[in-house]
Amino acid sequence: MKVLNTQTRKMKPLANAVRSASKLWLPLLVGSVALVAGCSDEPAATTTAAPAAAAPIVAAAAPAPVLGIRPQGDEEVAIDMSMIHSEELKKIFGHIDTNLDEHVINLQKWIQQPSISNTGEGIQESAEMVKGFFDQLGCQETSVNDVGITEWGQQGNPVVYAKCDEGAEKTLVVYWMYDTMPVTQPDLWKAPPFEGRLVEQAPYSKVMIGRGTNNSKGREMAFWNTMMSIKAVTGKLPVNLIFVAEGDEERMSMGYRKFVRDNPGLFADADAMWALGDGGGSEGCVFVELITSGSSWGRGPNYSDIHGGNKRSVDAPAWRHIKMLSTLVDETGNKVMIDGFYDDIEPLTEQELALLKTDAEGRDLAVAARNLGVERFITDDPLEQLTMARYGTSMNLDGIWGGNMFAGGSGAILPNRIVSKHNFRYIPNMNGMDIVAKLRAHLDKHGYQDVEINVVGDVPWAKMSYDNDLARSVDKMYTAFGKPAPAPVEHESILGGYWPAYLFAGDVMNIPIAGGNVSSGGNSHAANEFFVIEGAGKTYGMAGAEKSIATALYNYAGLNEEPAAVASTVASTVATSNAATLSVAAE
């Protein structure tokens, strides 16, 4: 592991932190309190002794409103405060409300820093910026790590690692991604994608528009704002944290995969992992490029594009590519025609089917389609559509290029090379590399031996049981926030969306994975991606999201128990201690 940047910091005055914040990659301020704690100058894998617990910090007067963000917006849902037993937690809620303008500005500044993994734009600057977040949080170890060349031959983007030892009983690995998708249709955006503009978008008075707001900087900044608020109020976090932030999620997590596999010792102290989404399981996805060229085919242009008028007497690799693609799916484009593609699918269990049926009840597909930005779904049956979405397989055509790629006008081109991108979504017990092998066999069988397959990456599926303390703590939070989570399946399941869960679900580590908050947003990978800042109706805004994270972590740490439960625990501890004392005395 090559460490690009590791710093040792001593406690500095607030004025120094304020001056440093003017640089984009340095930490952002939360409220009026900046906390910069010492960090080890040892290699990232070195474990340092836990620092002495810091005294609670008295928050300064509330900053003057800059944006005028209303913590409760137009929400018709509220936290059940009878389930918030911790006085600390109540003070943290107040700190979040008081400093919400600054929290939103923090997200705006992060959105204003592009971090496009597919082009490399802003990646290094973003990695340094994320490291700055962890420095300000007071993590003893922080580093930006060059992962080198990855499994499929590409340079991985830097992975940011941090360890925050709070002397707590439990330790969580926190997964982040700092990269985003490119902006492919800039003319469709209602605001510049890297401005972080606040706009009204019914039914919300304020949402933030920007690339990465929903996927996934909004949720991650909500987490960071929450951690900073907890420290501002109490002086320490309820759990120890190990952050791992990747810059390759939109490139099949290739650098993250290598970093975690190369450095398992960095995560040895973890009891569980905090995920971005609600679930711990994940579907599988293998991503490939298919390449047709005149030189490989032995026909058509063999070096570069040529004038399109030559088509009258020259073969076209582009038409060959289209013909090849047509053999891979049926006439609807919804069924994969590769031999053996569906052979290894594990059927859903009765409990998983029952869960899907419950979730499908009352599901309005017309509203769901409108919210997603599609005309309609493949099926009009809610259960079938939900099953497809959560436990389906597919081969997608993500993009295709070659020749004249300029909108409008003309320009006769006969391309010498055509490339198409495809992601295969797969489920247990399918295998990504087996799919690639079957794809190769299919192409050869149909006479396309010359078509090249370039594997971009593979993220295997991962099953996860939700019968663990972290998942129960999240469920308890949802109940307090008036959003009871669906009943989890009793066994391990993949139901939970796509992300690189597998590395901590049996590949390198095998620890419980869960996560969740009440944030909301939409249009990931699309124009006008947004994150809800002021909630409305039954949807919470950013303040609610931050409070939900604090509540879940306090639940997990055992710091938000009912007074009777606390008294019972104390009594049990005292009784055990007394019994031990009597035993020693008797000896």
Q: Which domains does the chain have, with CATH numbers?
A: 2-282+463-563 (3.40.630.10), 284-345+393-459 (3.30.70.360)
Q: How many CB atoms are located within 10 Å of the residue 542 CB?
A: 30
Burial class (CB in 10 A: 0-12, 13-18, 19+), 575: exposed
* Paired tokens of 229: 């608020």
* Rounded Cα–Cα distance for residues 274 and 245 (Å): 12
Burial class (CB in 10 A: 0-12, 13-18, 19+), 435: buried
The three-state DSSP-derived secondary structure of 196-263 is CEEEEECCEEEEEECCCHHHHHHHHHHHHHHHHHHHHHHCCCCCEEEEEEECCHHHCCHHHHHHHHHC
Residues in the chain, pLDDT under 50: 6-60, 570, 573-587
Nearest CA to 254 out of 88, 398, 454 is that of 454
Lookup result for tokens 């320490």: 236
Report the SS3 class of residue 24: coil
The three-state DSSP-derived secondary structure of 364-414 is CHHHHHHHHCCCCCCCCCHHHHHHHHHHCCEEEEEEEECCCCCCCCCCCEE
Lookup result for tokens 């102290």: 269
74: phi then psi, degrees, rounded to nearest 5: -115, 35
Lookup result for tokens 């973890």: 270
pTM for the whole structure: 0.84
Nearest CA to 500 out of 270, 281, 288, 219 is that of 281
Using a CB cutoff of 8 Å and minimum separation of 24, what contacts does 394-398 make? 394/334, 394/336, 394/424, 394/425, 395/328, 395/329, 395/336, 395/338, 395/422, 395/423, 395/424, 396/422, 396/423, 396/424, 396/425, 397/325, 397/421, 397/422, 398/287, 398/422, 398/423
CA distances from 261 to 127, 453, 459 (A): 20, 25, 14
Within 492-556, strands assigned E span 513-514, 521-522, 530-534, 536-537
Lookup result for tokens 């409300």: 97
Contact 444, 270 (CB under 8 A): no
How many CA atoms, within 13 angstroms, populate the side-chain half-sphere of residue 5?
16
140-181 pLDDT per residue, tens: 999 999 999 999 999 999 999 999 999 999 999 999 999 999
pLDDT at position 303 is 95
* Rounded Cα–Cα distance for residues 292 and 304 (Å): 13
3-state helix, strand, coil in the chain (%, to 5): 35, 20, 45
446-494 pLDDT per residue, tens: 999 999 999 999 999 999 888 899 999 999 999 999 997 666 665 677 7
pLDDT at position 14 is 31
Contact 279, 209 (CB under 8 A): no
pLDDT at position 256 is 98
Across the beta sheet with 530-534, what order do the strands follow?
A: 197-201, 204-209, 530-534, 521-522
pLDDT at position 490 is 58
Q: How many residues does the chain have?
A: 587
**CA torsion sign, 333 to 338 to 339 to 340?**
negative
Instruction: Report the greatest alpha carbon distance in the chain.
Output: 104
pLDDT at position 486 is 60
List, as one string, the DSSP characters of 277-321: SS-S-B-EEEEEEEEEEHHHHTSS-SSS-EEGGGGGTS--HHHHH
